[in-house]
Amino acid sequence: MTTETTKKFNIDTVEHAAKTPDTELPWAELGLKQNEFDEIVKVLGRRPTGAELAMYSVMWSEHCSYKSSKNHLRQFGEKVTEEMKKDMLVGIGENAGVTNLGDGWAVTFKIESHNSPSFVEPYQGAATGIGGIVRDIISMGARPVAVMDPLRFGAIDHPDTARVMHGAVAGIGGYGNCLGLPNIGGEMVFDSVYQGNPLVNALAVGVMRHEDIRLANASGKGNKVVLFGARTGGDGIGGASVLASESFDDTKPSKRPAVQVGDPFAEKVLIECCLELFKGSLVEGIQDLGAAGISCATSELASNGDGGMEVELTSVLLRDPTLTPGEILMSESQERMMAVVTPENIAAFEAVMDKWAVEYSWLGEVTDTGRLIITWEGEIIVDVDPRTVAHDGPVYDRPFARPEWQDSVQANSFTGSVEDAGRPSAPTELAAAVTELVASPNMCSKAWITKQYDRYVGGNTAMAFPDDAGVVRVDEETGLGVALATDANGRYTYLEPYQGAQLALAEAYRNVATSGAVPMAVSDCLNFGSPEDPDVMWQLAEAIRGLSDACMELGIPVTGGNVSLYNQTGTTPIHPSPVVAVLGKLDDVARRTPSGWREDGQAIYLLGTTAAELDGSEWSNLRGHLGGLPPKVDLAAERALGEILINASRDGMVDAAHDLSEGGLAAALVESSLRYGVGARIALEELMERDGVDLFTALFSETQARAIVSVPRSEEVRFKDMCTARGFAHLRIGVVDAAGGKLEINGVDELSLEALREAHEGTLPKYFG
Amino acid sequence: MTSIPLIGEAVAVAAEPRLAGAKIGVVTFPGTLDDRDAARAVRLAGATAVPLWHADSELGDVDAVIIPGGFSYGDYLRAGAISRFAPLMSKIIDAANSDAKLPVLGICNGFQILTESHLLPGSMIKNDHLKFICRDQTLRVENANTAWTVDYTDGQEIIVPLKNQDGQYIADEKTLDALEAEGRVVFRYVGFNPNGSRRDIAGISNAAGNVVGLMPHPEHAVEAGFGPESLDGAPRDTDGLGFFTSVLTKIVGGDK
């Protein structure tokens, strides 16, 4: 193998570019629009070099620049009160937001999408989704402590769904298990709208001491820039191959996988190695390499710093020596980090690398020129203001308008529709309906998935699937910990995007409060279709407006997140799917509330009132109907309910709590009974009388701001007094029955727990083996 | 009415002063995942956990060694096949085979490393269903006389987490017969064989009983609120603590 790498390339230097202004460049093939290319020429005052073009094209892509959503995303930063900011240590814009937990602890979390790679190559797509989000967490200076995966697939019986499901779940397990991070929850939804655009989102959470917070910036003239971790290869180079003019040699391997390939072992070693660097305060700034690879890391570090940066690209350690400069800049090889190190710390840095057998190479240093200069054997191939690459990309005010079809969709209510014919009412019909519901693809047990994930590693998992939220202990001395839940309802959001996004937040908030934790912060992953479609753009704009308004009302800030657009097949977009993650805090995880009841004779209460809200519900979905308006949002009620659940947990007034969401009361009663195999006797007559609903509606309506709890006899008076004092509707609907082995609901034929379990747990194995 | 204790109520570990001086080494390889969990288990049992690094050439003055679970070297080659050659492993092998019979416990990947090191016979291959599996697993203690099981009783059933991809224990029939005959099958899966292991074997020992390896994870069942539940929800979260108290009994108190 020749070491004379430079000889093979027709290096397009800055000097050469200045002399050859008329050279044709493949900007269109790299995804740039004419106006964007013109802007680059204007910024540089000349045509870009091939390497510069590669950098701008990836950094100005929708994925990296948020050019279609930026104008709307601003609201997350604007609709924030001083009160909401008080615990935010690092806000939007860094790799992940950081929230103060107290006692000197801080927590960082973020959710991201890895959708299209997971459709093309489900195993690697989902695996590297975990890898990427975990590196974001490490970059903040934190030790990652858990992951979660909200998943949305096509129809459960479509032949391609099994391919994506098997691959994605195995990839998440294969990568996450090998990293030693417990997987503590997530979601699973099947809907044909996701057939060609499955949503594979990944969340990671990490913890650190306040003093360990690290930021991605390159400051201090003379400090050294180092790239460490895996070598740079040809994976994930999307369009860079069109920069063929760089290469004389057409014998090189040209066809490379567009999906990155993960190496979880390398990532695990990288985690430990980075934590050792942080412990020794050996890095000044650090940035992970994800989308847009070295282009992103160098431009963001330099742009966030106080000077410039100069980097020699031939110093990058390569897995494939035939890579061109443009390809090296764009490569999305995984498990790489870039850091800034002071000259005094070089030896100590290298010692840590050697201990963990991690490869590294020194690429250059921080300068005071304000320019990002990249050389190839000394010849300048990139000379840019890093801000223009990293932050000053194009921003579009995409046209949006309420779709013409929205009215007719909203007018088409489930009640009274053709699909609603033969609504169950007799006791046998209702029993069959409950069983059908809990066996349905979206409501069935997710154990087939979660048993492929390690939930124990780390020894701090206090709660995981199937409880409402995942709970992880942070401080072993005090029991301080965090709770996390993610939620989204694409059908609700399709019916009414503003409200749908709020409902996603409300549910995640409720789930966290149900576990006993105080909600503190939000991260969101906005999965939508093409922003160039005004209908979709309206959905996105409305969802962001709704979400930011609701965050303000609930008093919890968005600390970070991600936008995934163009999730559509042809002209058919997915349902707008804003996946919302809420993080909460528990002073002592020992006080967490599980979702199942255990103790015979405890009273079961339903908190909140029930209206006839079946539009967009799981029941209507089972009958093949989608229309009308989603359940009403009542954030004041959500807040009041949350406070009751948190106080009840803190003061030991409830032993179990489960929120009501998709599938309504019917689903919640079955899940709380199956959690520990302990049944209940339920009577809903008083509820029906009070709320003016029939038994079917009481069971299947998806009215929000509701939860069921089991209350020890000794606490009943105190619990009722608390609800009364807070003016929150509460009704005793039944009692825990440990001996019967069944769920008895007046007016519904007896449901044996054994039969319910078989129905609930049988679905995924039936389809996926 | 049965009273269920508050989840996560702190277990007061009887801190016997004579135990605190006992030092138990916990080995970390690149890719080891459960080292901090194993160290916590040692602490909760009342002893002192000593971190050991795979590349170290000396074992130090530890009284016992735990090789924890994980994916050392990513399990990219046969699980445990690379770690077996770590400088520290040769010291552990010597100490385990010496007259002093250093107690050694291999958990999951640690068990795989022990078979690769030939401290224990047989080997682990991919689970028969070919998937990773994580579950609360019931085990029967078949031999309560090893260094790591004296605090249990023969035939006792315990629940500890199991989580692995390559957990199917195999050996030739002659070896299996010998293990059975010599009482070296220390743990067997009960109710459900999660990986297709021969004769439901979950863990075995060497002839002297100082070296024990098993696929399930006792270190994940040592603290109330952070371990398994039984089917009816009753906490079974500290069933694994006996491993760590057993070795202390062995170290400081001799045989039961």
**Per the CB < 8 Å rule, is A452 touching B134?**
yes
Q: For position B4, what pLDDT does the model report? A: 42
Taking CB atoms and an 8 Å cutoff, what residues of chain A touch B126? none
| 8 A C-beta contact, residue A122 and residue A167 | yes
A625 is catalytic: no
d(CA A760, CA A672): 13
Q: Which tokens go with B166?
A: 């390559």
- In the predicted structure, residue A31 carries a pLDDT above the cut 90: no
Taking CB atoms and an 8 Å cutoff, what residues of chain B touch A175? none
Q: For position A238, what pLDDT does the model report? A: 60
- In the predicted structure, residue A566 carries a pLDDT above the cut 70: yes
Q: Helix, strand, or coil here: A203?
A: strand
Using alpha carbons, list the distances in angstroms from residue A401 to A277, A533, A538, A571, B115: 50, 9, 5, 17, 66
The overall average pLDDT reported for chain A is 93
B56, closest residue in chain A (CA to CA): A355
The number of beta carbons lying within 10 Å of the beta carbon of residue B2 is 9
Reading across the β-sheet that carries A461-463, which strands appear in turn? A461-463, A470-473, A481-487, A577-586, A518-527, A558-564
What percentage of chain A has pLDDT greater than the value 70? 96
Tell me the pLDDT band of B2, cut-offs 50, 70 and 90: very low
Helix A293-304 to helix A50-59 angle (10° resolution) is: 80
Q: What is the pLDDT of residues A705-720, one digit of tens each?
A: 999 999 999 999 999 9
The arithmetic mean of pLDDT across residues B67-88, rounded, is 94
Q: For position A8, what pLDDT does the model report? A: 58
Residue A318 β-bridge partners: A232
Q: What is the pLDDT of residues A334-369, one digit of tens each?
A: 999 999 999 999 999 999 999 999 999 999 999 999
Q: To 10 degrees, the CA torsion angle through A565, A634, A707, A658?
A: 20
Q: Smallest CA–CA separation between A755 and chain B, in Å?
A: 16
The arithmetic mean of pLDDT across residues B111-126, rounded, is 97
**Per the CB < 8 Å rule, is B220 touching A456?**
yes
Residue A378's nearest CA partner among A312, A307, A460 is A312
Q: For position A215, what pLDDT does the model report? A: 80
The arithmetic mean of pLDDT across residues A583-587, rounded, is 97
- In the predicted structure, residue A1 carries a pLDDT above the cut 70: no
Indicate which residues of B carry an active-site annotation: 108, 217, 219
Q: Smallest CA–CA separation between B154 and chain A, in Å?
A: 27
Q: Smallest CA–CA separation between B132 and chain A, in Å?
A: 5
Q: What is the pLDDT of residues A306-344, one digit of tens each?
A: 889 999 999 999 998 888 888 899 898 999 999 999 999
Query: What's at A25, amino acid-wise?
Result: L
d(CA A164, CA B105): 39
Got the DSSP string for A475-537? Answer: -TTT--EEEEEEE--HHHHHH-HHHHHHHHHHHHHHHHHHTT-EEEEEEEEEE-S-TTSHHHH
Give the mutation candidate from A272, A353, A457, A591 for the B interface (greatest B CB count, under 10 A).
A457
Q: For position B230, what pLDDT does the model report? A: 75
Q: Smallest CA–CA separation between A367 and chain B, in Å?
A: 36
- ipTM greater than 0.95: no
Q: For position A99, what pLDDT does the model report? A: 95
Residue A316's nearest CA partner among A426, A232, A425, A377 is A232
The number of beta carbons lying within 10 Å of the beta carbon of residue A300 is 26
Tell me the pLDDT band of A384, cut-offs 50, 70 and 90: very high
Q: For position B12, what pLDDT does the model report? A: 43
Q: For position A666, what pLDDT does the model report? A: 98
Give the mutation candidate from A353, A456, A602, A735 for the B interface (greatest B CB count, under 10 A).
A456
- In the predicted structure, residue A253 carries a pLDDT above the cut 60: no
d(CA A516, CA A175): 30
Taking CB atoms and an 8 Å cutoff, what residues of chain B touch A676? 229, 232-233
Give the mutation candidate from B3, B33, B54 for the A interface (greatest A CB count, under 10 A).
B33
The arithmetic mean of pLDDT across residues B134-148, rounded, is 97
Q: Which tokens go with A96?
A: 């992940």
Taking CB atoms and an 8 Å cutoff, what residues of chain B touch A356? 30
Out of A265, A456, A460, name the one closest to residue B163 (CB).
A456
| 8 A C-beta contact, residue A483 and residue A587 | no
The overall average pLDDT reported for chain B is 91
The arithmetic mean of pLDDT across residues B56-63, rounded, is 93
Tell me the pLDDT band of B9, cut-offs 50, 70 and 90: very low
Q: For position B234, what pLDDT does the model report? A: 76
Q: What is the pLDDT of residues B36-52, one digit of tens each?
A: 999 999 999 999 999 99
Q: For position A258, what pLDDT does the model report? A: 67
The alpha helices in A24-105, defined as continuous H runs, are 34-44, 50-59, 62-65, 70-78, 82-85
d(CA A78, CA A92): 11
pTM: 0.94
Residue entry with tokens 């449901």: A751
- In the predicted structure, residue A3 carries a pLDDT above the cut 80: no
**Per the CB < 8 Å rule, is B219 touching A457?**
no
**Per the CB < 8 Å rule, is B225 touching A589?**
yes
